[in-house]
């Protein structure tokens, strides 16, 4: 992987990158080609301003301070607002053509718009319709739209609060700007394609319509309707400790991901499942205590929690721990290894220097402790029957090295004829006989 990243970096440095920016200098001349608007610098390098809302050769019409193109069947796509008002109402018809689509970057000629209303006739938004509308505070979406598309509010930095319209059923990826502080879920919303907290570090609270059948909220946290599952915990909520409510049995996918303030989580006795990436990159989480009642810790559930110095897993026979669940815990130095059922579970724990493997552990899975360079000596009990590929004593090589390289001086302590001795011989590691 590191070799691949190095090669990609080399290619990126060798290639002139075309960037997308929201504004154009008054002195810059704008060109159009291949459906793009762009400027040229003195060296002839292009900077893309916007993807052109029109197909090559399409005729642009003007009416009521709007530019538009005809789509056929007396339908139109608005391509630009060219007026000077700060409050914009997009008409449902332009020259007897029904407005059914909104094009890319329609406010590019007026960066001071604060409010815009789209009519019920609009059925489709093309790419980034509001890109660059930095002063936009209010957006009304007509009933013809059932899903707010990806990146819809991109660059709308003045948008602090938003209520999802009652007719909207789903939300795309990266819809809301990082400036958003409060989000109210409307009554018809069923689905988020991406948990909004991922791109919204300032979001402090969720509110939910009482009539919504799928979601609910409590103390600003987003839950499923009956509050048995935490869906999203706002990244702007400055709470350092949280006790999971007793009713909750599931910590949802990415629900606490990238949380900046949380230091401690106490799980209730009813929690059974922690879904994938639930606590991904919680940068201040300092300790993790997994109680016996939890039976599923999905892949990368706690990956990248770089401040975790203490990890306790009170495992039971049913516990399943997924791929990379506790990877990149860079402050973790010692660990009692639980029974796991996945690869790379403790990979990239850069300061891990001691592990204790209890007798109930039968298998050490492939790459389980890969990229743990300070883990130089491991004692393998007789009860371990299988050690997977590159599980112990290996790190990823640099781009000029093999994919995996051995940890210098790595030693296995174990019993004669055991899986530990076999692994040491197969991989050329030092073996010290005990017992």
pLDDT bucket at 144, cuts 50 / 70 / 90: very high
In this structure, is residue 39 part of a structural domain? yes
| Exposed/middle/buried for residue 214 (C-beta within 10 Å: 0-12, 13-18, 19+) | middle
The mean pLDDT of 298-302, rounded to a whole number, is 96
Task: Quote the pLDDT of residue 10.
Answer: 44
Q: How many CB atoms lie within 10 A of CB 145?
A: 20
Model pLDDT, residue 45:
52
Q: Cα–Cα distance between 214 and 188 in angstroms, integer?
A: 8
227: in domain: no
DSSP per position, 3-68? HHHHHHHHHHHHSPPP-B-S---TTPPPEEETTEEEEE-TTS-EEEEEE-SS-TTPPPEEETTEEE
- Taking alpha carbons only, the member of 218, 125, 121, 209 closest to residue 172 is 125
Residue 41 has a pLDDT of 59
Identify the H or E element spanning 414: strand 411-414
For the cut 60, the answer to whether the pLDDT of residue 18 exceeds it is no
pLDDT confidence tier of residue 342, bands split at 50, 70 and 90: confident
Cβ neighbors of 348 (< 8 A, separation 6 or more) are 327, 328, 330, 370, 371, 372
Give the pLDDT mean for 367-396: 96
Q: Which pLDDT score, from 0 to 100, does residue 28 have?
A: 53
Write down the pLDDT at residue 402: 87
The mean pLDDT of 225-239, rounded to a whole number, is: 95
What's the confidence (pLDDT) of residue 33?
A: 43
Q: Is residue 305 part of a domain?
A: no
| β-bridge pairing 386-387 and 75-81 | unpaired
| Mean of the per-residue pLDDT values of the chain | 88
| Strand ranges of the sheet holding 205-208, from the earlier edge strand across to the other edge | 161-163, 182-185, 205-208
Q: Are strands 36-40 and 66-72 parallel, antiparallel or unpaired?
A: unpaired
Check residue 383 and give its pLDDT. 94
Assigned domain for 42 exists? yes
The one-character DSSP state at 419 is: H
Model pLDDT for residues 382-421, shown as the tens digit of each residue: 999 999 999 999 999 988 888 999 999 999 999 999 999 9
Confidence of residue 32 (pLDDT cuts 50, 70, 90): very low
Query: Above 50 in pLDDT, residue 206?
Result: yes
Supply the pLDDT for residue 26: 39
Quote the number of domains for the chain: 1
Residue 12: what pLDDT? Answer: 38
DSSP for 69-124, written as a single string: EEEETTEEEEEEE-S--SEEE--SEETTEEEEEE-TTTTTT-TT--EEE--TT--E
Average the pLDDT over 290-299 and give the result.
94
What is the Cα–Cα distance from 42 to 46, expressed in whole angstroms?
10
The neighbour count for residue 277, using CB atoms within 10 Å, is: 25
The secondary structure element, H or E, covering residue 100 is strand 97-102
Asked, for residue 293, whether it belongs to a domain, the answer is: no
For residues 353-380, average pLDDT: 95
- How buried is 39 (Cβ within 10 angstroms: 0-12 exposed, 13-18 middle, 19+ buried)? middle
Give per-residue pLDDT as tens, 74-88.
999 999 999 999 999
| Angle subtended at Cα 176 by Cα 197 and Cα 102, rounded to the nearest 5 degrees | 155
Residue 293 has pLDDT above 70, yes or no: yes
List, for residues 102-118, the tens digit of each pLDDT value. 999 999 999 999 999 99
List the alpha helices (DSSP H) in 86-221. Answer: none
H-helix or E-strand spanning residue 432: strand 430-433
CB 217 within 8 A of CB 223: yes
Helix, strand, coil shares, percent, the chain, to 5: 5, 30, 65
Q: Which of 144, 153, 147, 140 is nearest to 169 (CA)?
A: 147
Place of tokens 């990243």: 5
Rounded to 5 degrees, what angle do the CA atoms 228, 308, 368 make? 90
Please check whether residue 19 lies inside any domain of the structure: yes
Does residue 36 carry a pLDDT above 80?
A: no
Domain of 35? 1-52
- Nearest residue to 327 (alpha-carbon basis) of 350, 347, 354: 347
- pLDDT bucket at 315, cuts 50 / 70 / 90: confident
422 within some domain: no
Phi, psi of 53 (to 5 degrees): -75, -5
pTM of the model: 0.82
**What is the reported pLDDT for 29?**
55
User: Would you state the pLDDT for residue 196?
Assistant: 78
**CB-neighbour burial class of residue 347 (10 A; exposed 0-12, middle 13-18, buried 19+):** buried
Q: b or e along 235-258 (b: 16 or more beta carbons within 10 Å of the residue's beta carbon)?
A: bbbeeeebebbeebbbbbbbbbbb
Considering the domain boundaries, does residue 167 fall inside one?
Answer: no
Query: For a pLDDT cut of 70, what percent of the chain falls above it?
Result: 87
| 384 contacts 362 by C-beta, under 8 angstroms | yes
Q: How confident is the model at residue 242 (pLDDT cuts 50, 70, 90)?
A: very high
Angle, CA 147 vertex, CA 145 and CA 149 arms, to 5°: 105
pLDDT band, very low/low/confident/very high, at 15 (cuts 50, 70, 90): very low
């Amino acid at each position: 992987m590191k070799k691949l990243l190095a090669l990609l970096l080399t290619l990126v440095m060798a290639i002139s990158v075309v960037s997308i920016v929201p504004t154009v200098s008054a002195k810059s001349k704008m060109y159009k080609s291949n459906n793009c608007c762009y400027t040229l610098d003195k060296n002839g390098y292009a900077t893309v301003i916007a993807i052109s809302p029109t197909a090559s050769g399409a005729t642009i019409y003007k009416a009521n301070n709007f530019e538009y193109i005809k789509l056929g069947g007396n339908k139109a796509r608005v391509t630009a607002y060219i007026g000077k008002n700060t409050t914009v109402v997009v008409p449902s018809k332009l020259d007897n053509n029904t407005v059914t689509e909104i094009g890319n970057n329609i406010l590019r000629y007026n960066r001071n718009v604060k409010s815009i209303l789209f009519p019920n006739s609009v059925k489709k938004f093309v790419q980034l319709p509001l890109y660059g509308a930095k002063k936009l505070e209010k957006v009304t979406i007509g009933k013809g739209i059932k899903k707010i598309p990806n990146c819809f509010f991109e660059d709308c930095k003045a948008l602090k609060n938003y209520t999802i319209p009652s007719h909207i059923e789903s939300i795309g990826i990266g819809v809301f700007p990082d400036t958003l502080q409060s989000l109210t879920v409307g009554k018809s919303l069923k689905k988020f394609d991406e948990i909004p907290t991922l791109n919204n570090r300032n979001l402090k609270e969720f509110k939910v319509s009482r009539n919504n059948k799928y979601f609910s909220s409590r103390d600003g946290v987003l839950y499923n309707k009956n509050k048995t599952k935490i869906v999203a915990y706002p990244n702007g909520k400055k709470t350092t400790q949280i006790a999971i409510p007793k009713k909750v049995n599931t910590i949802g996918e990415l629900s606490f991901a990238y949380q900046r303030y949380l230091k401690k989580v106490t799980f209730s006795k009813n929690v059974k499942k922690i879904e994938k990436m639930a606590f991904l990159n919680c940068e201040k989480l300092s300790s993790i205590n997994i109680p016996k009642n939890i039976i599923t810790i999905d892949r990368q559930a706690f990956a990248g929690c770089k401040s975790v110095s203490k990890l306790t897993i009170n495992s039971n026979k049913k516990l399943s721990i997924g791929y990379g669940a506790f990877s990149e815990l860079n402050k973790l130095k010692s660990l009692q290894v639980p029974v796991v059922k996945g690869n790379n579970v403790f990979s990239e724990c850069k300061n891990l220097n001691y592990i204790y493997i209890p007798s109930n552990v039968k298998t050490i899975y492939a790459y389980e402790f890969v990229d743990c360079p300070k883990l130089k000596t491991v004692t393998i009990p007789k009860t371990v029957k299988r050690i997977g590929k590159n599980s112990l004593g290996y790190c990823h090589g640099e781009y000029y090295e093999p994919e995996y390289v051995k940890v210098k001086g790595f030693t296995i302590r174990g019993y004669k004829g055991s899986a530990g001795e076999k692994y040491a011989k197969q991989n050329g590691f030092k073996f010290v006989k005990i017992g």
